[in-house]
C-alpha cells in the first residue's frame, strides 16, 4: 500500500498536492465513458509538468513508422489514438493575477474520483503570489447517458477579500501527442466560432467538433477571439466570502457518428440540450447510468478494504474504457489514460478482457468485441498476404486500430503470432459462455477458416522429426524471440485448426445456406482444407521434458542455465530495466505466462496434477514483468488449491496502478490487466467455470476475506454469487434479454 491514495471502498482520494506526482495523479483520476475520456489535467492554466490527454475512441492518426533498420514487411505507419482538444479548460484571473497551481502556494488540496458516480472532484485552497486567498472547486464528468457530452462545474470562492474574477472558458485544439514519431501536429483546424471548434486529423481525415455552452448566473460572456482555441470570458465581482460558479457543457461529436458537414451543428446541439436541461438533470442521469452499470458489475469484498478498493477501481476503469456501444471501438492497454501503446488493440482484448465484458456488460457488448475482429478480417488477410501467406490466410495484427498492423519490431510483428489463436479462442469462449452458436454461422466461421489457413501454412514438416513443427516464433514470453516450437503457440494453433474444422462441419450440416455463402465468399474447399488441417493436427510436434514431466516452453529451453527468480537479488529486478537485452534473451527467466497461458485457456484438457507440475516448474522462473502475467497464475494457483499463491498473484495486479508498483502510472493505467484482476477474483477465488450449459463455482477465498459477492450475467439470467469459506450461494434474477 502507498500512503498517497487513501483506502476507501468507493473513492480514490488524494489529499496532498505533490507536484512531482502530477502526471501520476492525472492518470489515476482519469475519467471516460467508453466513447471518449481523458486524463485528470487541471482545468485552469498549469505551467508545471503535465501530460495533456483527451482521447476520442476510434479517432487515430497513422504516424509514419520510425525504425533504425527497415525490414520488409514492416507497416508504413503506426496508428495512434490522438490527443485531442482539451475541452474543460477554464483560465482564472483574480484581481489581475492568473491562477496556476505551479506558481501559487497550495494550502489545501483534495481530489476524489467517486467510482460510484463516475465524477471527478477537486478542491484547492491556494494563495496567489501577491498573497490573495482563493478556493477552487471543480467537478467534472463525461456523461454515461449522453456519450457526446462533457460537463464541468467550476466554482471560485474568495474567502477573505473581494475582487474581480475573470473566468475564461476555452476549448484548446492546439494539442500534440508526446509520442509523435516526427514531432508533427496531427490536427488541422477546419473552422472556429466563439463557442466551437471543428478540426480534422491529418491523413486519416476524421472530423471532430467541439461546442460549448457556458453559464454563470447573472453574468454574460464575451468572445476572446483566440485561434484554435475558442474561448469566452465572464468577469464578475466576488465579495469576500462569496463565490462564482461556471457551468460548462461541451458537445464532442466526430465523423464516426455524423456527416462531416453537420458536425459543428451536432456538437452545438449536444451542448445546448444539456445546458437547457441543466447541470442537476444531466448529472443525475449520469449517476443513474453508473448505478445501473454497478448493479451488473460490482464485486463486494468483506474483510479487506484494500482489495475492495482495488477491484472496484479495476472494474470502474474497464467500464470507463469500453461500454460496447460501438463495434468499431476496442480496449487499448492504456484505455483513455495515456499515449503509451498508441491506444491500439492487442490480443489483450480477446485473452483477458472478453470474459469480463461478457459476464458484466452482457452478450451484445461481448459480441461487439468479436465483430471488431470480424470487420477487420479482410485487413488481416491482407496483412498475412504482405508477409507471404496466401489462399485467404489471415494474420491479425499485433497492434491495430483499423485492421492494419501497426507494430514494427520484427520479433513481435512477424513472430508473436499466437495472437491469432486468441482471436479464435475468443469466439469459442463467447459461444461457450453465451450459448450464441448462431455467431459461428453468421460471422465466426469465416474468421476461424482464415486463421486455420494461416496456421496450416505457418507450420512445416520436419523430416527428422516426422512431425509438423513451427519455427521462428515468439511466444507470450517476449523475453525470448525466434524460438522453435513454442509449446503454447503449437497448442493453440492445433486447437484452432481442429475448432475451425469442427465448426465448418457443423455449419455445413446444420446451416447449409450460411455454409454456401461462406464457401463462396471465402473460396473454401471443405474436403481438401479440413483434411489438411486434420492431418497436421494429428502429426504435430510438441516439446516435452521427460525428466520433469512437463510441457517444454520451446525446444532448447532446458539447455539454458536453470535459475529461479528467488535467486535473483532484488537490486537486479525488474530485469528489463537492469539487464541488457542480450542477457535477458539468454536467461531462463520468463516474462509472463506462456505454457501456463495454454493451461489456463485449455484447462479442461488437463488433469490437476499436470497443471500442478507445470505451475510448480514455471511460476518460480517467471518474473511477471508484464502486468498480464499474475492474473493467469492467480487463476491456476486457485485451481490447484494454492490459495496463498493465488492471493500473492492477485495483489500484484489489483492495486498495480493505485500503489504504483512499477513506478510508471504517470504514463497511464494498465487497463487490460485490470480485466486480469477481475479474472483472478471471479475465476480464481470464485472458481467460476462453464461446464456444458452450466456455470459452476468452487470458491477459495484469501484468509482475510470474510465473503465476496459478485454479479454475472449468464444465458439470460443475472446471478448474484456470494462466496464464503464455506461455499457459494447463487441467487438468480430472471431477465428477458441480456
Ligand atoms: C505484453 C503483451 C501485451 C502488451 C500490451 C506487453 O508487455 O508482453 O503480451 O499484449 O504488453 O499489453
The per-residue pLDDT for range 344-366, each reduced to its tens digit, is 999 999 999 999 999 999 899 99
Over range 620-645, report the average pLDDT.
Answer: 97
CA 627 to ligand 1 centroid distance, Å: 8
pLDDT tens readout for residues 159-218: 999 999 999 999 999 999 998 988 889 999 999 988 999 999 999 999 999 999 999 999
Q: What is the pLDDT of residue 734?
A: 64
pLDDT tens readout for residues 526-551: 999 999 999 999 999 999 999 999 99
Find where cell 484494500 sits. 306
C-alpha cell at 242: 462569496
- Which numbered atom of ligand 1 lies nearest the CA of 398? 10
Residue with CA nearest ligand 1 atom 8: 626
**Residue 622 gets which letter from DSSP?**
B
Q: For residue 117, count other CB atoms closer than 10 A to its CB.
A: 21
Q: Ligand 1 pocket check: which of 353, 478, 593 to mutate, most ligand atoms within 8 Å of Cβ?
A: 478
The region of weakest confidence among 116-120, 504-508, 555-559, 654-658 is 654-658
Is residue 399 in contact with ligand 1, taking CB distance under 6 Å?
A: no
Is residue 480 in contact with ligand 1, taking CB distance under 6 Å?
A: no
C-alpha cell at 690: 462453464
CA 357 to ligand 1 centroid distance, Å: 20
Is residue 592 in contact with ligand 1, taking CB distance under 6 Å?
A: yes
Specify whether 478 is catalytic.
yes
Residue with CA nearest ligand 1 atom 1: 626
The residues, ordered by sequence, that sit 6+ positions from 259 with a Cβ below 8 Å of its Cβ are none
Q: Give me the percent of the chain exceeding a pLDDT of 70.
A: 99
Is the predicted pLDDT of residue 279 greater than 70, yes or no?
yes
Residue with CA nearest ligand 1 atom 7: 626
pLDDT category of residue 735 using cuts at 50, 70 and 90: low
Q: What is the pLDDT of residue 737?
A: 44
Q: What is the pLDDT of residue 663?
A: 81
C-alpha cell at 625: 514483468
Say how many residues make up the chain: 738
Contact (CB, 8 A) for 456 and 468: no
Question: In terms of Cα–Cα distance, which of 420, 678, 683, 475 is closest to 593?
Answer: 475
CA 487 to ligand 1 centroid distance, Å: 19
- Which numbered atom of ligand 1 lies nearest the CA of 419? 10
pLDDT category of residue 5 using cuts at 50, 70 and 90: confident
Single pTM value for the model: 0.96
Residue with CA nearest ligand 1 atom 12: 333
**Residue 557 gets which letter from DSSP?**
G
pLDDT category of residue 738 using cuts at 50, 70 and 90: very low
H, E, C per residue of 310-332: HHHHHHHHHHHHCCCCCCCCCCC
Among 478, 480, 619, 647, the one annotated catalytic: 478
H, E, C per residue of 360-429: HCCHHHHHHHHHHHHHCHHHHHHHHHHCCCCCCCCCCCCCECCCCCCCCCHHHHCCCCCHHHHHHHHHHH
Is residue 672 in contact with ligand 1, taking CB distance under 6 Å?
A: yes
Residue 667 half-sphere exposure toward CB, CA atoms < 13 A = 13
Average pLDDT taken over every residue of the chain: 96
Contact (CB, 8 A) for 394 and 449: no
DSSP string, 445-490: HHHHHHHHHHHHHH-EEETTTTEEE--SB--S-TTS-SBS--HHHH
Is the predicted pLDDT of residue 736 greater than 50, yes or no?
no
Residue with CA nearest ligand 1 atom 11: 626
Over range 403-408, report the average pLDDT.
Answer: 94
pLDDT tens readout for residues 414-437: 999 999 999 999 999 999 999 999
Amino acid at each position: 500500500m502507498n500512503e498517497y491514495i487513501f483506502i476507501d471502498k468507493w473513492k480514490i482520494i488524494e489529499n496532498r498536492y505533490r507536484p512531482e506526482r502530477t502526471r501520476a495523479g492525472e492518470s489515476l483520476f482519469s475519467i471516460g465513458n467508453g466513447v471518449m475520456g481523458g486524463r485528470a489535467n487541471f482545468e485552469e492554466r498549469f505551467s508545471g509538468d503535465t501530460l495533456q490527454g483527451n482521447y476520442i475512441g476510434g479517432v487515430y492518426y497513422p504516424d509514419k513508422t520510425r525504425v533504425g533498420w527497415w525490414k520488409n514487411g514492416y507497416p508504413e505507419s503506426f496508428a495512434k489514438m490522438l490527443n485531442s482538444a482539451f475541452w474543460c479548460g477554464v483560465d482564472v484571473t483574480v484581481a489581475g493575477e492568473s491562477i496556476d497551481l505551479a506558481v501559487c502556494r497550495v494550502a489545501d488540496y483534495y481530489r476524489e474520483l467517486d467510482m460510484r458516480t463516475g465524477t471527478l472532484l477537486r478542491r484547492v485552497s491556494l494563495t496567489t503570489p501577491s498573497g490573495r486567498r482563493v478556493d477552487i472547486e471543480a467537478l467534472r464528468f463525461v456523461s454515461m447517458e449522453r456519450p457526446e457530452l462533457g460537463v464541468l462545474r467550476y466554482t471560485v470562492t474568495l474567502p477573505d477579500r473581494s475582487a474581480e474574477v475573470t473566468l475564461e472558458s476555452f476549448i484548446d485544439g492546439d494539442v500534440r501527442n508526446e509520442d509523435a514519431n516526427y514531432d508533427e501536429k496531427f490536427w488541422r483546424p477546419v473552422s472556429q466560432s466563439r463557442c466551437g471548434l471543428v478540426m480534422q486529423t491529418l491523413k486519416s481525415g476524421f472530423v471532430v467538433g467541439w461546442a460549448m455552452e457556458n453559464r454563470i448566473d447573472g453574468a454574460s460572456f464575451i468572445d476572446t477571439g483566440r485561434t484554435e482555441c475558442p474561448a469566452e470570458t465572464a468577469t464578475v465581482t466576488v465579495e469576500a466570502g462569496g463565490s462564482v460558479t461556471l457551468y460548462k457543457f461541451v458537445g464532442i461529436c466526430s465523423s464516426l457518428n455524423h456527416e462531416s458537414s453537420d458536425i459543428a451543428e451536432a456538437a452545438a446541439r449536444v451542448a445546448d440540450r444539456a445546458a437547457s436541461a441543466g447541470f442537476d438533470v444531466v448529472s443525475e442521469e449520469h449517476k443513474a447510468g453508473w448505478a445501473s452499470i454497478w448493479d451488473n458489475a460490482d464485486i463486494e469484498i468483506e474483510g479487506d478494504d484494500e482489495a475492495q478498493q482495488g477491484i472496484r477501481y479495476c472494474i470502474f476503469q474497464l467500464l470507463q474504457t469500453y461500454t460496447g456501444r460501438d463495434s468499431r471501438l476496442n480496449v487499448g492497454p492504456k484505455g483513455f489514460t495515456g499515449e503509451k501503446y498508441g491506444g491500439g488493440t492487442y490480443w489483450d482484448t480477446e485473452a483477458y478482457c472478453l470474459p469480463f465484458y461478457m459476464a458484466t456488460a452482457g452478450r451484445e457488448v461481448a459480441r461487439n468485441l468479436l465483430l471488431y475482429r470480424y470487420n477487420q478480417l479482410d485487413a488481416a488477410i491482407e496483412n498475412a498476404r504482405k508477409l507471404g501467406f496466401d489462399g485467404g490466410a489471415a494474420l491479425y495484427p499485433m497492434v491495430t486500430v483499423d485492421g492494419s498492423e501497426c507494430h514494427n519490431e520484427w520479433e513481435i510483428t512477424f513472430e508473436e503470432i499466437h495472437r491469432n489463436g486468441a482471436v479464435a479462442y475468443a469466439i469459442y469462449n463467447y459461444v461457450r459462455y453465451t450459448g450464441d452458436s448462431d455467431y459461428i454461422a453468421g460471422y465466426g466461421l469465416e474468421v476461424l477458416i482464415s486463421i486455420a489457413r494461416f496456421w496450416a501454412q505457418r507450420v512445416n514438416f520436419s523430416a527428422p522429426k516426422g512431425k509438423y513443427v513451427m519455427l521462428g516464433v515468439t511466444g507470450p514470453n517476449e523475453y525470448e524471440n525466434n524460438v522453435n516450437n513454442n509449446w503454447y503457440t503449437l497448442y493453440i494453433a492445433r486447437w484452432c485448426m481442429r475448432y475451425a474444422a469442427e465448426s465448418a462441419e457443423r455449419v455445413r450440416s446444420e446451416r447449409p445456406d450460411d455454409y454456401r455463402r461462406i464457401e463462396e465468399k471465402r473460396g473454401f474447399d471443405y474436403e481438401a482444407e479440413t483434411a489438411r488441417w486434420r492431418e497436421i493436427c494429428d502429426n504435430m510436434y510438441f516439446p516435452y521434458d521427460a525428466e520433469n514431466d512437463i510441457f517444454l516452453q520451446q525446444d532448447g529451453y532446458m539447455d539454458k542455465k536453470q535459475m529461479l527468480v528467488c535467486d535473483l537479488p532484488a537490486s537486479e529486478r525488474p530485469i528489463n530495466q537492469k539487464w541488457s537485452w542480450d542477457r535477458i534473451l539468454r536467461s531462463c527467466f520468463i516474462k509472463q505466462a506462456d505454457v501456463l497461458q495454454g493451461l489456463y485457456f485449455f484447462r479442461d484438457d488437463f488433469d490437476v496434477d499436470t497443471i500442478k507440475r507445470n505451475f510448480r516448474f514455471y511460476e518460480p522462473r517467471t518474473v511477471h514483468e508484464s502486468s498480464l502475467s499474475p492474473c493467469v497464475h492467480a487463476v491456476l494457483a486457485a485451481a490447484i488449491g494454492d490459495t496463498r499463491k493465488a492471493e500473492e498473484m492477485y495483489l500484484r495486479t489489483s492495486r498495480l496502478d493505485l500503489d504504483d508498483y512499477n513506478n510508471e502510472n504517470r504514463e497511464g493505467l494498465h487497463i487490460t490487466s485490470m480485466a486480469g484482476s477481475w479474472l483472478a477474483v471471479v475465476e480464481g477465488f470464485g472458481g467460476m467455470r462453464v461446464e456444458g450449459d452450466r456455470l459452476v463455482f468452487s470458491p477459495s477465498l484469501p484468509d482475510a476475506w470474510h465473503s465476496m459477492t459478485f454479479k454475472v450475467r449468464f444465458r439470460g439470467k443475472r446471478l448474484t454469487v456470494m462466496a464464503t469459506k464455506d461455499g457459494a450461494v447463487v441467487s438468480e434474477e430472471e431477465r428477458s434479454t441480456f
